[in-house]
Amino acid sequence: MVESVALVIPSLEKLGISRDRPLVIVDVDEVLGLFMKGFGGFLDARGYDFRIDRFALFQNIYVRGAVEHLDLETGRALFNEFFASHCAEIEPAPGAIEALTRLHRRAEILILSNAPPQAEQLRGEWLRRHGLPHPLILSSGPKGPITAGLVAQTPQRTAFVDDLLPNLDSVAEHSPATATFQHVADERLRPLAPSAPERHPRIDDWAELAAAIEAAIHRP
């Protein structure tokens, strides 16, 4: 039996987020940053192949030249090592920095990333280095409950951006008034990523996405 853990929702006030402006909640990996490219370089330096032939993570890691993918336990250890030491080295997604700078003129930005706890310092440094000094929350699991808890604290319109359909569906379930958008930054992943455009507009160009978010959070 798995023991349930109470979800702790930080207050917008403590995060430095104003309730007087719309709120845009944004993921990092494959939304703001090119995670797969960065993780692939990390694996290559350690003698592994990272073959993006399915929308998966650990099942794409291979010992160089092997036919079967790496065992999941070893893959998880490499993932944790990457986030503890190298996650600040990923490249920004094309257009992401400019788009968030544009959005921040009229909205609050909150970064919500599913990443191990040891990534917090490096991920925060990465955001600040790229001109995105926005509050960062590291989480795990479906993002609907924590998003709902954050959204419940503001009377303003809200939007949520992620690459993963389960997170988008979770937010739509728990916070149905929040506008949801899918963005997949890595061009290699785009044809592999499950999408549901009838529920969550899929916009892989950040300039177009910023315009769509602005329309959603500022409509009459």
What is the rounded distance in angstroms from the CA atom of residue 31 to the CA atom of residue 86?
18
Helices (H) and strands (E) in the chain, counts: 8, 7
What's the average model confidence in pLDDT over 192-206? 97
Tokens representing 216 are 């959603």
Residue bearing tokens 């700078």: 101
DSSP state string for 150-178: HHTT-SS-EEEEES-HHHHHHHHHH-TTS
What's the average model confidence in pLDDT over 147-151? 98
Which pLDDT tens digit goes with each residue over 169-187? 999 999 999 999 999 999 9
Which residue did the predictor score with more confidence, 130 or 54? 130
Q: Please name the residue ranges forming H helices in the chain.
A: 12-15, 35-45, 72-85, 96-104, 120-129, 144-151, 165-174, 206-218
Residue 6: the pLDDT is 56
Q: Which domains, ranges and CATH numbers included, belong to the chain?
A: 12-34+91-218 (3.40.50.1000), 36-89 (no CATH)
Residue 8: the pLDDT is 84
Helix axes 35-45, 72-85, angle to 10 degrees: 110
pLDDT bracket for residue 7 (50, 70, 90): confident
pLDDT at position 3 over 50: no
Q: What is the mean pLDDT of the chain?
A: 95
Tokens representing 47 are 């003698």
Percentage helix, strand, coil, to 5, in the chain?
Answer: 40, 15, 45
What is the rounded distance in angstroms from the CA atom of residue 96 to the CA atom of residue 50?
24
What's the average model confidence in pLDDT over 124-134? 96
Tokens representing 25 are 């909640």
Which pLDDT tens digit goes with each residue over 21-62? 999 999 999 999 999 999 999 999 999 999 998 898 999 999
